[in-house]
Amino acid sequence: MKLETYIQTLFTSQDVDYERINQIMIETGMPTISVSPETGKLLTLLVKISGAKNLLEIGALGGYSGICLLRGNEDAKLVSLELEQLYANVAKRNVEEAGYREKVSYKVGPALDSLNELKEKAETYDFFFIDADKGNYTHYLDLCIQLASPGAIIAADNTLWDGKVLEEHPTDQDTLALQKYNDQVAHHPRLESILIPIGDGLTIARVK
């Protein structure tokens, strides 16, 4: 048995929302690239442990990670940034179906634009989840730090990139971008951080 299967069987078996959303995404012709159920469970626990209430997600897809974040705190509100209008519509329906009506709002368009708009409005958040285009991860990090309240958590998915971050001389742009992201998070003077090898890798940082 693989380690991943062992963890999933014990801690995350039968996540009905995961199964339901995957089926809807297949029928809608969307990619089935939600976070793994065990990464989703960790996101829930991180929100719960930190007590975060103002959540921001970059990359909604079908809404699964949004549901996992909202599961962590019944008083939380989620702002979710998504490039594609169709995906934001699907995510909204799925998140509402899971019982989180009125808890989520979507901003559609390039996330860099949305983050800059939120910055102009002087919004602050205490939990960020980055899970969109890898080439912009370091830009998202900079903006999340600017939008962060003291002690905020910044989590980013796919930071092991199927192990490709270990390559010494990668040529693939996404691998290079993720290596750069992990390096910046590890050495940033305002962050305390760690990369957890769960799912495809989740890098977690706390803003000082």
Ligand X SMILES: C[S@@+](CC[C@H](N)C(=O)[O-])C[C@H]1O[C@@H](n2cnc3c(N)ncnc32)[C@H](O)[C@@H]1O
Q: Contact positions toward ligand X, by CB under 6 A?
A: 33-35, 59-62, 64-65, 81-84, 87, 110-111, 131-133
Q: Tell me the C-alpha to C-alpha distance, in Å, between residue 33 and each of 5, 65, 75, 205.
A: 18, 11, 28, 23
Q: How far is the CB of 103 from ligand X (least distance, A)?
A: 16
d(CA 161, CA 197): 11
- DSSP E strands in the chain: the ranges are 54-58, 77-82, 104-108, 125-130, 148-157, 191-196, 202-207
**CA atoms within a 13 Å half-sphere pointing along the CA-CB vector of 12:** 22
Q: How far is the CB of 112 from ligand X (least distance, A)?
A: 7
- For residue 88, give the 3-state DSSP assignment: helix
Compare residues 132 and 152 and give the one whose CB is closer to ligand X. Answer: 132
Q: How far is the CB of 142 from ligand X (least distance, A)?
A: 15
Q: Tell me the C-alpha to C-alpha distance, in Å, between residue 126 and each of 20, 61, 107, 122, 123.
A: 29, 22, 18, 14, 11
Compare residues 40 and 73 and give the one whose CB is closer to ligand X. Answer: 40
Compare residues 38 and 187 and give the one whose CB is closer to ligand X. Answer: 38
- For residue 128, give the 3-state DSSP assignment: strand
Q: How far is the CB of 132 from ligand X (least distance, A)?
A: 3
Compare residues 64 and 100 and give the one whose CB is closer to ligand X. Answer: 64
Compare residues 142 and 192 and give the one whose CB is closer to ligand X. Answer: 142
Compare residues 169 and 205 and give the one whose CB is closer to ligand X. Answer: 205
Contacts of 62 (CB under 8 A, 6+ apart): 21, 22, 24, 25, 30, 34, 87, 90, 91, 94
d(CA 1, CA 59): 31
Q: How far is the CB of 169 from ligand X (least distance, A)?
A: 26
Q: How far is the CB of 106 from ligand X (least distance, A)?
A: 10
